[in-house]
Structure 1
Amino acid sequence: MSHTKTNKGHLIARVRRIAGQVAALERALETETGCAVVLQQVAAARGAINGLMDEIIEDHLREHVAHPDLDGAARAKGADELAAVIRRYAR
């Protein structure tokens, strides 16, 4: 996946921020922080993961489905991969 190699630093930074959010959520649960705060942290972590997923889906679509240099078989493979991920993600 060339697009993940190209954006590797940016994607890793996003994942590290998400890891920080999850660690903060764990600390909040361990210290019995109020449920409203915990819910806010869960919503923030979910939003961050959704944002990461959106970015990678868009990159996949551009590079493995819509890229003008792809032949029909490569486009079909990229579309099938994307469809499988979206099915799993939507559950």
Structure 2
Amino acid sequence: MPHTPEEKKKVLARIRRIRGQCEGLERALEAGADCAPVLQQIAAIRGAVNGLMSGVLEAHLREQFGQAAADAGDRRARVDEMTALVRSYLK
């Protein structure tokens, strides 16, 4: 989750662009567009979502690891959480 108003503004703007891309894809599909432009639009949406995920993940990593852990258990819990997030991101 974005932690500053500026980060939140950027993430919401990116979400709105992705929504616009999805709406454009929907219109293309309804109009019976050729496969190549549809596939290109799907790839663009996937890239935009991956960029969004990358940015939010980076912000989360900086937030979690930008400060020292209270103890070894806390550090281990943070690493476990990050490992799970990265694994789900890479699926």
Shorter-chain TM range is: 0.7 to 0.9
Q: How does 1:1-91 map to 2 (within 5 A)?
A: 4-6=2-4, 7-64=7-64, 66-72=65-71, 73-91=73-91
**Comparing both chains, which one has the higher relative contact order based on Cα–Cα distances under 8 Å and sequence gaps of 6 or more?**
2
**Matched letter for residue 67 of structure 1:** G
Q: Is the 8 A contact 1:29 1:38 kept in 2?
A: yes
CA drift at 1:74: 4.0
Question: Which shows bigger deviation, 27-36 or 66-75?
Answer: 66-75
Deviation per CA, 1:15-42, whole angstroms, max 9, x where unpaired? Answer: 0100100111111110000100000000
Name the CA distance, whole Å, in 2 between partners of 1:13 and 1:29: 24
Gaps of 5+ in 1: none
Query: How many correspondences in the alignment?
Result: 88
Question: Which shows bigger deviation, 76-85 or 37-46?
Answer: 76-85
Over 4 Å off, 4+ runs: none
Gaps of 5+ in 2: none
| TM-score between both structures, scaled by the size of structure 2 | 0.83
Name the CA distance, whole Å, in 1 between partners of 2:70 and 2:47: 35
CA drift at 1:84: 2.0
How high is the sequence identity, in percent, across the aligned residues?
Answer: 48
**Matched letter for residue 14 of structure 1:** R
The root-mean-square deviation of aligned C-alpha atoms, in Å, is 1.7
Name the CA distance, whole Å, in 2 between partners of 1:33 and 1:45: 17
